[in-house]
Structure 1
Amino acid sequence: VGARIVCADNTGAKILEVVNVHKYKTRVSRLPAAAVGDFCNVVVKKGPAELR
């Protein structure tokens, strides 16, 4: 959570920030981690204005 990643599709977004990782069971106060194939919510940080 909070990691910035490079977008690899054709939407026009350049940089994404991970906001939430779905179905991640963890202890209290531990940040969830995501790997390949995990379902995450992200926010567009760099890209066209209509995507932000």
Structure 2
Amino acid sequence: MDAVIAEAAGHAREAVRMLLSDVDALARDHNASVSYGYVYGRLAVVRSRTSGADE
């Protein structure tokens, strides 16, 4: 945290803004690199496992 605040010239709000911007960029990059079909297939497997456990 100290390094981020130092990079933001001591401004805590700017440091948070920078971190949120970085998280957004990472999320966009991740979404672009993972196919929807793969994610949907993984979610279907998880749903089928959890629905079977509830019965």
Range class of TM-score, shorter chain: under 0.3
Higher relative contact order (CA 8 A, sep 6+): 1
Highest Rg: 1 or 2?
2
TM-score relative to the length of structure 2? 0.22
Give the structure with the higher percent helix.
Answer: 2
Give the structure with the higher percent strand.
Answer: 1
TM-score relative to the length of structure 1? 0.22
